[in-house]
């Protein structure tokens, strides 16, 4: 029995979706294990047999140490060192499943079948990369929305006379609903500092985890003020004003795009109706004239 191409596309999409859900569960489990390690809860650790197996397989596949892949996963919110290896292993498993699924659902193995199986495997591989890029773009969009209120609250706390490190710790505990993605990055920053990591390295990792240019600039700004001294309020105010200007510019750009799309929709749906309303009387008159001429010609021919 041979499945049709739309059915194969649905099967591949379902496999990719299930794999992505499994990846999310793995990410949450790793976060829970890391939190338990930080808190010293030894009794709650459980073996991640599948995760360790995927990490072992991915570490032996070329491409697991690719810096561009690790950067893309970091921008998507996967900060674990083993995320790249697990991603490579899952992608290889999905490619193999897609290739074997095409071969199993065909009556005979021919050249066209092998080409279709190879194309399905390549499509599943590209689908993984596309999903990661879409997740990274979505996360960057949310981070750009969360940074302005974070900067405003940080300036309010610093104005009260608290040090920068204590301000970051305090803001981390009160930004759960306002800026959840920034809160996750700040919690990791606090965990790094509590584990004995130098401030310079911790701020560099915070900028990498934010994954956007504004995040790098903010981390470098705070690091420079904390390590080298100087007034931070004026810099934060100018930085917050720049973020607000960028948000306004992005909003205007989105409004312009939506206006163009609205114009295209209006042209697609209203222009045909308008053309029919304007041209229908003329077409009707022309058709009536042609019928009259035809009738007259037929009458003359009958009289002759």
Q: What is the per-residue pLDDT across 169-194, written as a single tens digit (0 to 9) for each?
A: 888 888 777 788 888 888 888 888 88
Choice among 7-16, 73-82, 119-128, 245-254 with the minimum mean pLDDT: 7-16
Q: Is residue 49's pLDDT more than 60?
A: no
Residue-level pLDDT at 132: 84
Question: What does the DSSP assignment read for 210-241?
Answer: H-SHHHHHHHHHHHHHHHH----HHHHHHHHH
Q: What is the per-residue pLDDT across 250-270, written as a single tens digit (0 to 9) for each?
A: 788 888 888 888 888 887 788
Q: Is residue 58's pLDDT more than 70?
A: no
Burial per residue of 149-182, b for 16 or more beta-carbon CB atoms within 10 angstroms, e otherwise: ebbebbbebbeeeeebeebbbbbbeebeeebebb
The domain ranges of the chain are 5-141, 143-249
Residue-level pLDDT at 40: 47
pTM score of the predicted model: 0.60
Q: Is residue 43's pLDDT more than 50?
A: no
Choice among 57-61, 165-169, 206-210 with the minimum mean pLDDT: 57-61
Q: Is residue 65's pLDDT more than 80?
A: no
Higher confidence at residue 112 or residue 34? 112
Neighbouring residues of 5: CB distance < 8 A, sequence distance ≥ 6: none
Confidence of residue 59 (pLDDT cuts 50, 70, 90): low
């Amino acid at each position: 029995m041979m499945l049709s191409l739309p059915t194969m596309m649905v099967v591949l999409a379902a496999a990719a979706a299930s794999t992505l859900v499994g990846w999310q569960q793995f990410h949450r489990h790793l976060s829970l294990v890391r939190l338990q390690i930080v808190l010293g809860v030894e009794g709650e650790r459980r073996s991640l047999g599948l995760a360790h197996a995927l990490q072992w397989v991915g570490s032996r596949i070329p491409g697991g140490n690719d810096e561009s892949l690790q950067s893309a996963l970091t921008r998507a919110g996967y900060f674990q060192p083993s995320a790249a290896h697990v991603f490579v292993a899952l992608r290889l498993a999905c490619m193999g499943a897609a290739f074997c699924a095409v071969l199993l659902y065909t009556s005979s193995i021919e050249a066209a079948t092998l080409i279709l199986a190879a194309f399905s495997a390549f499509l599943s591989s590209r689908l993984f990369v596309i999903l990661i890029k879409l997740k990274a773009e979505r996360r960057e969009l949310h981070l750009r929305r969360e940074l302005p209120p974070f900067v405003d609250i940080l300036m309010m706390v610093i104005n009260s006379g608290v040090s920068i490190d204590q301000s970051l710790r305090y803001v981390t505990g009160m930004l759960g609903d306002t800026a959840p993605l920034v809160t996750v990055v700040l919690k990791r920053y606090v965990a790094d500092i509590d584990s004995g990591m130098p401030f310079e390295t911790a701020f560099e990792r915070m900028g990498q985890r934010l994954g956007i240019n504004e995040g790098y600039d903010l981390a470098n700004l705070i690091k420079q003020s904390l390590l080298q001294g100087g007034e931070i309020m004026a810099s934060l105010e100018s930085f917050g004003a720049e973020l607000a200007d960028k948000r306004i510019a992005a909003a205007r750009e989105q409004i312009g795009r939506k206006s163009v799309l609205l114009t295209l929709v209006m042209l697609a749906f209203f222009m045909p109706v308008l053309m029919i309303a304007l041209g229908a009387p003329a077409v009707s008159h022309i058709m009536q004239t042609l019928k009259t001429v035809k009738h007259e010609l037929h009458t003359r021919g009958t009289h002759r």
